[in-house]
Amino acid sequence: MTRPRAWIKTLALVSTLAIVVGACSSGTATQAPTAAASTTPSAAAGSTGPAPSASAAAVNACGDAPVTLNVWGGYPEVDAVYKLAGENFKKTHPNVDFTVFSTDLRGFEQKLSTALPSKTAGDVVVRTTNFLSRFIDQGLLAPLPDDLKTFVTGGAYDPAIVADNTYANKNWGVPLFIGTAGIYYNTDMFTKAGITAPPTTMDEIIADAKKLAVVDASGSLVTSGLSLRLSGQGSGVAEKFWILLLQSGRTLIKETSPGKWQADFNGPEGVKLFQMYVDLLKANIDSLNIDSDAKAFETKATAMFLREAWVIPEIATKAPALVGHYQTISPPVGSLVTSESMFVPAASPNAACAWEFVRFLKEQEQQISMVTISGWLPARKDLDLTAFLAANPTYAGFFTHPAGFKLTYTPPIAEFDEIETKLATHLVAAYADFANLAGQPDKIQTLLNTWADETNSILKTNGHFGG
Amino acid sequence: MNSPLAAVRRVPRRTWIRYRFVFLVLAPVMALFIYLRIVPAGQALLMSLFDWGLIKPADHFVGLDNYVNLLSDDNFRLAFMNTTFFAVATTVISVVLALALAALLARFVTGRIGGALELLYFAPVLVSMVPVTLGWREIFNYQHGILNSALGLVGISRQAWLSDPTMALVGVVILSVWKQVGYNMIILIVGMRAIPHVFHEAAAVDGASAWQQFRWITMPLLAPVTLFVVVITTISAYNVFTQVYVLASDVQGAPGQLVRVLVYDIFENGFRFFKMGYASAEAMYLFAVILVLTVIQFRFLRGSAE
Amino acid sequence: MIRRRRTPLGSLTYWLVVAILLIGGIVMVFPLFWLVSTSLRPAPELLLVPPRLLPEQWTIANFQKVFDQAPMLTYLWNSLVFATISTVFILLTSATAGYIFAKFKFPGNNFLFMLVIATAIVPFEIYMVPLFLQMNALGLVNTPLGLFLPFLVLSYGIFFMRQNTISGVPDELLDAARIDGMSELRIMLQLVPRLLAPAMAALSILAFIQAWTAFIWPLLILNNPKYYPMELGLSQFANSSSVDFGMVAAGAVIAMLPALIAFLILRRRIVEGITLTGLKG
């Protein structure tokens, strides 16, 4: 008769324990973000002299009293960069300590949505100007000091990146790191197929892909010549289509007048690109059934694919056998660029010192450490890369671009995600139907027009359509 | 005197003590319950009449626009068709299979052998959905998945389980039936064992075969349990999400067609596009469908039980 | 319970049926076996065509790697905490509310209980959008409390406990206890649970499984990996590490183990629980 009671008692004990533990972990969540606090720096090896732009005025900006700067970011892999920069900064500003808070991107966005209005955000916040625009509207982010404004528009950054960080006709964030696409290719497979030089035009890419595809005895594809993004959830399929579309000079949606956009992908270049997709599928150069993207490249299931620079450190850890057998090359005409920039919240008590750190982070040494430590690319284009590229030749595709190479940034409109995702859904369905669409440019044009109509109607619903 | 005050005075003191006890116990529970269930339910209905975003709530009242726009939304229509096909296929196949298994395991093959066999069929129910979906994703792989290799052994060509939209739907049905059959079977077995033997013995004496006994005695008497199994399988099938999400979510390269189902569409509308009013209207449609189906199933199977 | 075969068929048919059922059973268990076998394979063997049933070279390296690359123990612990808290609260709220609804007449009894039934048939997915907004308004997005909150009550639980209380707790017993001078509180917390122990056990199993296997709510509400329960953690890990499927399989095996172990220990209870919540509800 006491059995049920004892059972309840143990359950109560376990649950009390669980609640205590759960409360402890929720307690740390509701406190101000702390996360990995970097304290006094250990003897930093390879330290250089003080930051070039440091001056008497700069040292004064951080005063003499102990100051702790909170750096917030949405990419945990960049934490080590901030920490190293903090250690180097401390050499000229010994009274400044750093804490770094980061979480994954979505969580970071949600965190900012509550912390910025409640004035509990950090001292330096790193995110896209596009995302932070809603907080700029509410006056929650400090405007750029004049010297930084001059610097940002002074040619250190690609015009697309500067445009990406312009909101309401003003420059806002100082770009810190960017993501662009590069073409990865397997040098062994190239040699085996008798290709002596990497492709420098879209036509060459397609021609090479046809030579690189490998089928097995039963005719099914084993190695794809070019790995295309053909299925999956989200907007990735449309994004990859967009990058290839840029090579022909067109884009997904184009700005016809300030703030007004229109679908641009259903022109003859869009049709030609879509035909390329279905033709490659029909000719069994790529297949819906085979692995794709980074996984395929790392398991030698493809000879070429496009992706950002993070694959390079991943290959070093997850596919070391591939190291030395692959190289990267820039896309022929252009690429998408996303830029993460540094902001200082208006309510930060250490604003002057925070801006000082921002000035420090944009310098050569810190920018190079961005790519060597996190794999993200530095935002500045006026860096001295000779030493870096000599030591890391596989990054060539991300730094060395042909003349006239053009970067395109994401349209700063809230509904763009919906446009991209819905286009991705259509593309996926159409790729699966490739047998019926190969060699049918009229059908393809009709399809693209239907999708463009949908894109334009989404733009209209949000008041951003301009004919 | 019939005033409320007089009515209150008429209540004896002991009842007041009891009322106070009821209140003290029920109030916190009901408060939690209302906050976590009633308020969201009401809000879902309310939001569906607005153009409601995440950062800027309650944009403006649009009445039934969300509902009307959904009807012409290609994604919604595809989701509806996929989910309906999925629900029908999964329910029919898993219930029929479970009935067959239960018929054999409830009486025919019992004892320790029966118990061990029951365990084999029940195993998929025990483990959670994400690990097994990951396993099935590899089993379905076109090139090095074992399903295509096994089919090859019996002369069937390789199927594009994950890369063809139709086959992907079939694949999700297979995965879900596999996961559900054991659960249905166990419940049906218990239901069958609860039917007294005398009915079957009497029928056997009258010369009825095993199949006839099953068809005319077991099945009708089992109808309430069968109804229960059909209803819960249908409801959980209409709410399918996890398998579909995991099968289509490899960002690095395995092919994975997204089988667009209703809950996924609600999720995408609400949490990718932040059209929360629109997503709520879609959720209302889903609820209406489930409600209608449940009522129909009750009528149908209860009628056949008479 | 052991019953003799009732059909007058010979043992040949019996063994034939057993064989067929056995083959079916092996097919059923095969995907689980396959996951285990894959987790014990070294990487080069994963891409063999045709695939081999058993690893040629057994290795536990995948298990070591998965613990290095993903916080498996954190995920398991989070799942345990989440499921336990949810189960305790659901038991508490369902049993007390069910008892009150069953055994007490008071104005509003029927009305409130109808609310409970009405929400019991509404699937969770209908609530998820407004629930998220509620948690957002409270600032509980991406917190453990935000994760637990919707799982602290279960409409079906209240319904289930009320039905069981009606059939399992005789009024006479309650009256006798009251005459004996037992306080209402003691009756509810000591006397009634003794009578309803099987039902409470069944409900706790249902609640535990529901929280342990929850996926969509954690997906919506959590973004910080340190709070992820196992289901969510495993899926995010699999996404970012799909190249090394052996490691992902090891993670999947780790995720499945607690359920299998619990089943081996509590097998009878679990099956009873499932059938009880199903049939008597």
- What six digits make up the tokens of A102? 């980061």
Distance CA A382, CA A205 (A): 29
pLDDT top residue among B196 and B281: B281
Average pLDDT over residues C214-224: 89
Distance CA B130, CA B128 (A): 6
Looking at A50-64, B101-115, C133-147, which range is the least confident one? A50-64
pTM of the model: 0.83
> Whose CA is closest to B107, among C7, C176, C33?
C7
For the residues of A69-89, what is the DSSP string, one character each? EEEEES-GGGHHHHHHHHHHH
User: Are the C-beta atoms of residues B146 and C51 closer than 8 Å to each other?
Assistant: yes
Specify the pairing of strand A377-378 against strand A174-180: antiparallel
Average confidence score pLDDT of chain A: 85
Looking at B225-229, B233-237, B290-294, C273-277, which range is the least confident one? C273-277
The reply to whether B68 touches chain C by the CB within 8 Å rule is no
User: Are the C-beta atoms of residues A273 and A245 closer than 8 Å to each other?
Assistant: yes
Average pLDDT over residues A414-427: 92
The reply to whether B210 touches chain C by the CB within 8 Å rule is yes
Average confidence score pLDDT of chain B: 87
- What six digits make up the tokens of C277? 């919540």
Domains in chain A, please, with CATH? Answer: 58-180+338-399 (3.40.190.10), 182-337+404-461 (3.40.190.10)
Q: What pLDDT is recorded for position B8? A: 67
User: How many angstroms away from the CA of A34 is the closest CA of chain C?
Assistant: 14
pLDDT category, C85, cuts 50, 70, 90? very high
pLDDT surpasses 90 at B275: no
Q: What pLDDT is recorded for position B56? A: 60
pLDDT surpasses 70 at C10: no
Going by C-beta distance under 8 Å and a sequence separation of 6 or more, which residues neighbour residue A59? Answer: A92, A93
Q: What pLDDT is recorded for position A13? A: 52
Distance CA A430, CA B261 (A): 19
For A66, phi then psi, to 5°, come to: -60, 130
User: How many angstroms away from the CA of A277 is the closest CA of chain B?
Assistant: 15
The subunits that touch chain B, with at least 3 C-beta pairs less than 8 Å apart, are: A, C
- What six digits make up the tokens of C90? 């659901």
Q: Do A294 and B253 touch (CB under 8 A)?
A: yes
Q: A254 by DSSP, 3-state: which?
A: strand
Contacts of B204 in chain C (CB under 8 A): 6, 8
User: Are the C-beta atoms of residues B278 and B70 closer than 8 Å to each other?
Assistant: yes
Letter string b/e over residues B71-110, b meaning 16 or more CB atoms within 10 A of that residue's CB = eebebbebbbebbbbbbebbbebbbebbbbbbbbbbbbbb
Domains in chain C, please, with CATH? Answer: 11-65 (no CATH), 70-279 (1.10.3720.10)
Distance CA A340, CA A105 (A): 12
- What six digits make up the tokens of A391? 């030591």
For A290, phi then psi, to 5°, come to: -100, 160
- What six digits make up the tokens of A135? 């907080």
pLDDT surpasses 80 at A151: yes
Sign of CA dihedral A274, A275, A276, A281: positive
Average pLDDT over residues B40-69: 83
> For chain A, what percentages of helix, strand and coil (3-state, to nearest 5) are there?
45, 15, 35
Domain ranges of chain B: 4-47, 67-305
pLDDT category, B252, cuts 50, 70, 90? low
Q: Do C31 and B178 touch (CB under 8 A)?
A: yes
User: Are the C-beta atoms of residues C119 and B260 closer than 8 Å to each other?
Assistant: no
Sign of CA dihedral A288, B147, C215, B229: positive
Q: In chain B, what percentage of residues exceed pLDDT 90? A: 43
Looking at A180-184, A240-244, C79-83, C221-225, which range is the least confident one? C221-225
> Whose CA is closest to B49, among B277, B284, B283?
B277
pLDDT category, B254, cuts 50, 70, 90? confident
The topology under which CATH files domain B67-305 is MetI-like fold (1.10.3720)
Nearest by CB: C143 against A14, A30, A295: A30
Distance CA A152, CA A176 (A): 11
Contacts of A103 in chain C (CB under 8 A): 142, 223-224
**Predicted-complex ipTM score:** 0.86
Per-residue CA distances from A253 to A64, A408, A429, B25, C39 (Å):
51, 11, 21, 60, 46
> Whose CA is closest to C100, among B29, B290, B253, A179?
B29
Contacts of A423 in chain B (CB under 8 A): none
A331 HSE (CA, 13 A, CB side): 26
pLDDT category, A3, cuts 50, 70, 90? very low
Q: What pLDDT is recorded for position A33? A: 34
The subunits that touch chain A, with at least 3 C-beta pairs less than 8 Å apart, are: B, C
Contacts of C148 in chain A (CB under 8 A): 22
